[in-house]
Amino acid sequence: MVEGAPLIDFNWIAGHLDGIGLRVVQHLQLTIIPLLLGIVISLILAVWAVRTPRAYGPVTAVTGLLYTIPSLAAFAVLRPIFGLSLLTALIPLTAYTLLILFRNFVAGFSAVPADVLEAAEGMGYTRRERLIRVELPLAVPLMIAGVRLASVTTIGLATVAAVLGDTFGGLGQLITEGIQNFFPTKYLLGAALSVALAIGADYLFVRFERIVTPWTHAQAGGR
């Protein structure tokens, strides 16, 4: 830091809006793709685990094991294998979403009361109809809670992907470059934007959950 220079150089920010925008887009890419892949994989695994309870333990064990790998190590290990392609970042980021999503999806399905299922059966629903019309809507609050947590987690983890270099660095790249050049404007901006993105996503999912499941908040005082 240069002595006497202001902490935030707004002129620099104004002159580099394009570059900053690119980092934001990259960060969204590093968040949305793993999240979508994670949702698809976890949904398949969850439906499987609900139908075959024996599968729950092993799936939790494997996804839990993936979850314990430090992200820094996962990126570092995959770099020599996939090089500087997007895959190196996407594989660990997707893997980290699985434990949270799978667990919450299964919990969502299990939260459906048995008598509701029986009522659906009594009404003549087939297994598939029951899954789509009864179980899925009732599982939605816990499922969205899982997606919310996974998205926030992924936004945070994606900042670490910057150690892979600047090809798709995202906001972590702004932080890393700012630190390397002793330029607080850059790293503080990267940090502030990633915080804003995470808190914004968190808030968005809270709103979304309320909109799609109005019945859970019908009473005053419900969260």
Partner 1 sequence: MPDVFGFFLDPTHWQGETGIPNRLLEHLVISGSGILAATLLSLPIGLYIGHTNRGAGLAINLANIGRAVPSYAMMVIPLPFTLALAPVLGYSPTLGLNFLPIFLAMTFLAIPPLLVSTYAGLRAVDRDLIEAGRGMGLTELQILRRIELPIASPILMGGFRTATLQVIATATIGAILSGGGLGRFIFDGLNQGLAGRASIYAGAILVAALAIGVDLVLSLVQTRLTPRALRRPSTPTARGPERVVGVGEGPGVARTT
Residues found near partner 1 in the complex (CB under 8 A): 1, 7, 56, 60, 64, 67-77, 79-80, 96, 99-100, 103-104, 106-107, 141-142, 144-146, 149, 152-153, 155-157, 159-160, 163, 172, 175-176, 178-179, 184, 187-188, 190-192, 194-195, 198-199, 201-202, 206, 209, 216, 223
Minimum CB distance to partner 1 smaller for 75 or for 168 = 75
**Rounded to whole angstroms, how far apart are CA atoms 198 and 202?**
6
Task: Return the axis-axis angle of helices 56-68 and 86-110, rounded to nearest 10°.
Answer: 140
52 phi, psi to nearest 5 deg: -125, 85
Q: How far is the CB of 96 from partner 1 (least distance, A)?
A: 8
Q: Contact, 202 vs 145, CB < 8 A?
A: no
**Rounded to whole angstroms, how far apart are CA atoms 164 and 143?**
32
**Rounded to whole angstroms, how far apart are CA atoms 46 and 59?**
9
Q: How far is the CB of 132 from partner 1 (least distance, A)?
A: 22
How far is CA 160 from each of CA 9, 29, 88, 109, 211, rounded to the nearest angstrom?
A: 24, 14, 12, 33, 33
**Rounded to whole angstroms, how far apart are CA atoms 22 and 90?**
18
Q: How far is the CB of 122 from partner 1 (least distance, A)?
A: 29
Minimum CB distance to partner 1 smaller for 32 or for 77 = 77
Minimum CB distance to partner 1 smaller for 41 or for 156 = 156
Minimum CB distance to partner 1 smaller for 99 or for 134 = 99
Minimum CB distance to partner 1 smaller for 126 or for 167 = 167
